[in-house]
Amino acid sequence: MEFKRHRRLRKSLAIRELVRENSLSAKDFIFPMFVVEGENIKKEIPTIPGNYHVSVDRLNETLEEAVECGINGVIFFGLPEHKDECGSSAFDENGVIQKAVRKTKELYPNLWVITDVCMCEYTNHGHCGILHGHEVHNDKTLEVLGKVALSHVKAGADMVAPSDMMDGRVAYIRKVLDENGYEDVSIMAYSAKYSSAFYGPFREAANSAPQFGDRKGYQMDPANINEAMREIQSDIEEGADIIMVKPALSYLDVVRWTKDRYDYPVAAYSVSGEFAMVKAASRLGFIDERAVALEMLLSMKRAGADIIITYYALEASRWLRGE
Ligand code: PBG
């Protein structure tokens, strides 16, 4: 009888490691951080356990940990003191993100500092742009996004990451940055960002839930994949340097399609709900947190992600070095 003996290559750890196709490393991760106004604050976020709301004066503690873990990149989300109709504290030179970026670049000039460019944390209605009635007005929002991105870059951000899903934001932000002499600053576009229930824990953490309606008029329908390819195509044409698929776990097919079709670096954002599910199940004793989390992150690499944005960045880095 003739058949293939695939198990030959699984006989021992040595051979398994020799034929292993994908791997995970701290170098793959971007660590999301939530910066709050105020002083002496380091408060655990209930919906994203092990992650913190941190004030600028105590940012050094978390940054030191991240650097010590071997993390190359952080992405900042801000919780401002003041919200209004047009999210004006998002582009304030002394806004929470702008201060955090300046401090971080001062302490760790080699750390890659990314900022999330969006308005939902800064508007009193919680939508990602300027409202016209109950609709987010695309082109008016672009003007604000341009200001927000420029203010982040002036503070020293290495890369901006627009997450609003307005049309034309990459082109608009690219134009604003270029006109101001920031041709070297890159854009990581949340290109295929789905309207997902997996963002729940983040919206609690960032106090950014929409006060009415939902984000289905700008974020993508979870049923679609061709549309994701069109979004990505546009973002590349508009000047994106890195493209992102978000969420990650339920959208690994989208990650794979993206990697197969576009020769651009792909980031997968393993969002708050993915993290929270593993945390909660492990607290109930239903799963082995460490094994499941690492398996999930590895699946994103296997799907084709070059970069993984994850709330597990620090923990996973420690696990990977055997701690
Ligand atoms: C801002 C933004 C969101 C997330 C990242 N940037 C929330 C949203 O779109 O409602 C979600 C991240 C997460 O769930 O981890 N627009």
Phi, psi of 130 (to 5 degrees): -85, 130
176 CA from centroid of ligand 1 (Å)? 24
- Nearest one of 318, 242, 232 to 75, comparing CA atoms: 242
Phi, psi of 3 (to 5 degrees): -155, 165
Query: Structurally, how many domains does the chain consist of?
Result: 1
Q: What's the pLDDT band for 196 if we cut at 50, 70, 90? A: very high
What b/e sequence results for 132-142 when a residue is b if at least 16 CB atoms lie within 10 Å of its CB, and e otherwise?
A: eeeebebeebb
- Nearest one of 101, 166, 72, 97 to 127, comparing CA atoms: 166
- Nearest one of 276, 281, 288, 289 to 315, comparing CA atoms: 289
CA dihedral 99, 123, 84, 148 (to 10 degrees): 40
Q: Tell me how far apart the alpha carbons of residues 299 and 154 are, in angstroms, rounded to a whole number.
A: 36
- Ligand 1 neighbours (beta carbon < 6 A): 116, 118, 120, 128, 163, 199, 202-203, 208, 271-272
Q: Is residue 34 part of a domain?
A: yes
Helix (H/G/I), strand (E/B), else coil: 75: strand
Q: Is residue 273 part of a domain?
A: yes
Q: Which residues make beta-bridge pairs with 136?
A: 131
State the average pLDDT over residues 121-147. Answer: 94
Q: Which atom of ligand 1 is nearest to the CA of 270?
A: 15
Q: Is residue 284 part of a domain?
A: yes
Q: Is residue 308 part of a domain?
A: yes
Q: Is residue 18 part of a domain?
A: no
Q: What CATH number corresponds to the domain at position 296? A: 3.20.20.70
Which of 83, 193, 279, 301 is an active site residue? 193
pLDDT at 198: 98
Q: Is residue 195 part of a domain?
A: yes
Query: Contact at 8 Å (CB) between 172 and 160?
Result: no
- Tell me the per-residue pLDDT of 70-125, one tens digit each, with 9 for 90 and over: 999 999 999 999 999 999 999 999 999 999 999 999 999 999 999 999 999 999 99
Q: Is residue 303 part of a domain?
A: yes
- The model's pTM is 0.97
- Tell me the per-residue pLDDT of 207-263, one tens digit each, with 9 for 90 and over: 899 999 999 999 999 999 999 999 999 999 999 999 999 999 999 999 999 999 999
- Tell me the per-residue pLDDT of 170-192, one tens digit each, with 9 for 90 and over: 999 999 999 999 999 999 999 99
Q: Is residue 70 part of a domain?
A: yes
- The domain in which residue 163 lies consists of 23-320
199 CA from centroid of ligand 1 (Å)? 6
pLDDT at 265: 98
89 CA from centroid of ligand 1 (Å)? 18
Q: Which atom of ligand 1 is nearest to the CA of 271?
A: 15
Which of 83, 147, 246, 279 is an active site residue? 246
Q: Which tokens is 57 given? A: 């004066």
**Could you confirm whether 246 is annotated as catalytic?**
yes
Q: What's the pLDDT band for 284 if we cut at 50, 70, 90? A: very high
